[in-house]
Amino acid sequence: MSDPASPAGASARPQGVNHGVAKAAGLIGAATFSSRILGLIRDIVLARLFGATPAADAFFVAYRIPNLLRELFAEGSMSSAFIPVFTEYHTLRTKQDAWELASAMFTTVLTLITLITLVGILAAPGIVWLLAPGFHDDPSKISVTTLLTRIMFPYLLFISLAALAMGILNSLRAFAAPALSPVLFNLFVIGCALFLSPLLAEPIMGVAIGVVAGGAAQFAMQLPGLRLRGMLFRWRFDPRHAGVRRIGTLIVPSLLGLSVTQINITVSTILASYFEGGPTYLFYGMRLVQFPLGIFGVALATAILPTLSAQAAKGEMEELRSTLGFGLRMILFIILPAMLGLILLREPIVHLFFEHGTFTAADTAATASALLCYAIGLWAFAGVRIIVAAFYSLQDTKTPAIAAGAAVAANLILAIFLMAPLQHAGLALATALAAMLNVGILVAVLNRRLGGVDWVSVRRSSLRVLAASVPVILSCLWISGLEVWMRPEEWIAKTVMLVVGIGLSITGYVGVHALLRSEELDVVWGLVRGFVGRSSRDSLGNHR
């Protein structure tokens, strides 16, 4: 057995840490995959029932408002500010200290977000007037959007509490329940759309009710895990708690830092209100981009933040650099082929999933153009989450905020210039280009801050990924050029061909990596064998 202090032991530590991060990311990714599948079914149901109608536009504008605040106050700034501080308390102090911090934070969040929710409900008419200028000439559309906004504002309260619970559980390396909780959200939205909406005079209201119920379910699902670990919240109103004050200090700049993509999407939604169907096309285009982003990019960022935070708290900077480099390599390994697949198969995917009921062929073409422009920036959407996690682990939220401010300004300028020639697709392209600028700034600063990352390994990984992407490109071009996509119906044949194309792409991609002896493939394959082996042992145990 190697001495931990020896070079062999030192080199083994990052490998063990990286395997733990990859294992956690795999668990989160598997759970998120289930949620995303249900999310895709949810989107298919909504597209079939409401298409790109004025009711759908009103819903997606109204949903954008609490969803932006969710990103800003809940899953964005609060998680990124809370996890490093809570991890430090849990690592360096007693469990009682960590529990007191969690309870004080719960009470503070409950009080603050309740007030914000009440203000939001009262101010809904003004908020809608500001965020949907394209609706000003249609009083009925403004009225429906305002009512939807009021119905969905309490979602912010439930999802904020769910994000706090997720931060605690993730800090304790419990990832399953938080990752699976969106499954309940999607089930409630689907159920309300199918069974409650037909009973209402304005059917889209049923979907809004489902959003609120789903948010409450996400929070409730995580309470048993908190109780099991002795971290169930108690009422403890102590806003002057040292940990709460530190979290509050970190939250203020991180409001912009991690949520730049959502802010830019909101800007796009505001400007898209000038185009009929624009908010709907952007929503579905981003939803498809968020499928691989949520399964892999967000999963890896969620798994890596507690590890980076623990390393930063202990002053283990060499290990932190190694973990960060590993995260970037895994992002490239997963996201680049997904990006190519979305770009080359954009029209078949949108056609197969959404072109049913009131969703027309023209809607498919418009959504596919938005998907193309968003997908160009998929690598940046994913990469920024890993890089920002490194800053937050160092409890630096100011630098990401400054970079995000530059990206938001660039997005607004680009959107204004691109929306005239490209309409809604220009807004999507502006968001993608702004994300690339954000990544560039953060990488430059972080490289100086840490004294470099293992860029040699990242470059080698990039070359392997590019070589392995050739079969992906060839397979997708062949599938997208088939005549079956030009014929009506034939949904089974189209489904089979899309599955075949994805299967060939994955097989070719993995095959090239195997020939090149890819380290990233070894990590993924080790995780797969571990999951299969554990499942087999569990199965045998259940049959004894």
Q: Identify the CA nearest to 66 among candidates 134, 158, 176.
A: 158
Residues 321 and 426 in one domain: yes
Computed on alpha carbons and rounded to an integer, the radius of gyration of the chain in Å comes to 23
The answer to whether 36 touches 295, Cβ cutoff 8 Å, is yes
Please give the torsion angle defined by the CA atoms of residues 133, 138, 139 and 144, in that order, rounded to the nearest 10 degrees: -80
Token code pair at residue 209: 């009710």
Residues 170 and 206 in one domain: yes
Q: What is the pLDDT of residue 540?
A: 40
The answer as to whether 18 is a domain residue is no
The answer as to whether 61 is a domain residue is yes
Digit-coded pLDDT (tens) for 256-270: 655 666 677 778 878
Mean of the pLDDT values across residues 54-78?
Answer: 73
pLDDT of residue 77 exceeding 80: no
Select the more confidently predicted residue: 335 or 267: 335
Domain boundary among 453, 476, 503: 453
Q: What angle do CA 285, 289, 293 make, to 5 degrees?
A: 155
Domain boundary among 453, 469, 484: 453
The answer to whether the pTM exceeds 0.85 is no
Select the more confidently predicted residue: 134 or 193: 193
Mean pLDDT taken over the chain: 82
151 — pLDDT class (breaks 50, 70, 90): very high
240 — pLDDT class (breaks 50, 70, 90): confident
Q: What is the pLDDT of residue 58?
A: 87
Q: Identify the CA nearest to 264 among candidates 384, 147, 349.
A: 384
Digit-coded pLDDT (tens) for 440-481: 999 888 888 887 777 788 888 889 999 999 999 999 999 998
Residues 327 and 345 in one domain: yes
Q: Which position has the token pair 């401010």? A: 405
Token code pair at residue 170: 């993730």
Domain boundary among 424, 453, 482: 453
- Residue 321 has φ and ψ, to the nearest 5°, of -60, -40
DSSP 90-120: HHHS-HHHHHHHHHHHHHHHHHHHHHHHHHH
User: By mean pLDDT, which of 89-98, 263-272, 334-343, 484-493 is the weakest?
Assistant: 263-272
Q: What is the pLDDT of residue 209?
A: 95
Domain tally, the chain: 2
pLDDT of residue 539 exceeding 70: no
Q: What is the pLDDT of residue 538?
A: 46
Digit-coded pLDDT (tens) for 371-410: 999 999 999 988 888 888 788 777 777 888 888 888 889 9
Q: What is the pLDDT of residue 464?
A: 92
Q: What is the pLDDT of residue 16?
A: 53
The answer to whether 78 touches 156, Cβ cutoff 8 Å, is no
The answer as to whether 5 is a domain residue is no
pLDDT of residue 2 exceeding 70: no
Residues 168 and 229 in one domain: yes
Q: What is the pLDDT of residue 543?
A: 43
Burial of 285 (0-12, 13-18, 19+ CB in 10 A): buried
Q: Identify the CA nearest to 169 among candidates 239, 217, 93, 227.
A: 227
Residues 352 and 497 in one domain: no
Percent of the chain with pLDDT over 70: 84
Residues 199 and 179 in one domain: yes
Highest mean pLDDT among 27-41, 99-113, 202-216, 396-410: 202-216
Q: What is the pLDDT of residue 111?
A: 92
DSSP 127-161: HHHHH-GGGTT-HHHHHHHHHHHHHHTHHHHHHHH
Mean of the pLDDT values across residues 504-525?
Answer: 86
Select the more confidently predicted residue: 24 or 381: 381
Residue 499 lies in domain: 455-530
Residues 415 and 496 in one domain: no
Q: What is the pLDDT of residue 190?
A: 93
Highest mean pLDDT among 7-11, 173-177, 336-340, 392-396: 336-340
Residues 401 and 478 in one domain: no
Select the more confidently predicted residue: 161 or 537: 161
Mean of the pLDDT values across residues 34-51?
Answer: 83
Q: What is the pLDDT of residue 5?
A: 41
- CA–CA gap between residue 434 and residue 263 (Å, rounded): 11
Q: What is the pLDDT of residue 526?
A: 65
Q: What is the pLDDT of residue 173?
A: 74
Q: What is the pLDDT of residue 436?
A: 93
Mean of the pLDDT values across residues 100-126?
Answer: 90
Residues 198 and 70 in one domain: yes
Residues 433 and 303 in one domain: yes
Residues 420 and 463 in one domain: no
pLDDT of residue 28 exceeding 50: yes
Q: What is the pLDDT of residue 434?
A: 92
Residues 432 and 490 in one domain: no
